[in-house]
Chain A
């Protein structure tokens, strides 16, 4: 059974700062990793995916993957109050066509 671990938070950062969200996973063979954002009372939505070691940037968001350490992170630059949400890390259960296993999520609060 794959496990995905996240600090539940809340993580509070001031507006304009960098928010750093972390995730560790149990299966060294995992190949793909995803970050979903869930606003309070809403459903999760995909914001980033990463498959290779290193960094992947998309606007203010950067996903970082270190397979050797089984660690994936999400950086949010110039954090805005609208970034306040719960961020869920997810990995596929197995290889191929397979459901996602989600972490419990980290609640981020950006203070204006």
Chain B
């Protein structure tokens, strides 16, 4: 059974903290993505990666960075958490040329106080 695992289901952090969200996939996919999902705004792409040590900005990269040191792991970093980064964060991996078959992790609900 395919799996995308996100390290935490719920996370509470304070403003200004550095936050790490981890994502691991076991499908040997080259492509991995970080989205955030907010009511009324839908899924928005933060960063993505097509290969180890490679990263591309999505639509809303400000305040975030990523790391991909190994093929199976893609980490999202909030350098200095702010309240407007309170959101559901979804990691996904995808195979194929158009990434249509995306497999999502169960998500991390991050609250920044």
A interface: dominant SS: loop
| Residue numbers in B under 8 Å from A43 (CB-CB) | 90, 104-107
Q: Are A97 and B99 in contact (CB under 8 A)?
A: yes
Give B93-111 interface residues, CB cut-off 8 Å to A: 97-102, 104-107
How many chain B residues touch A (Cβ–Cβ < 8 Å)? 23
**CB < 8 Å neighbour of B45 from A42, A49, A99:** A99
In the bound complex, CA of A97 to CA of B51 (Å): 12
Binary contact track B33-65/A, C-beta < 8 Å → 1, others 0: 101000011110100101000000011000000
B interface residues with partner A (beta carbon < 8 Å): 31, 33, 35, 40-43, 45, 48, 50, 58-59, 90, 97-102, 104-107
Could you pull out 21 A-B pairs where Cβ atoms are within 8 angstroms?
Answer: A32-B100, A34-B100, A36-B102, A42-B106, A43-B90, A43-B106, A43-B107, A49-B100, A88-B42, A92-B98, A92-B100, A93-B45, A97-B98, A98-B98, A99-B45, A100-B99, A100-B100, A101-B45, A102-B35, A104-B40, A105-B42
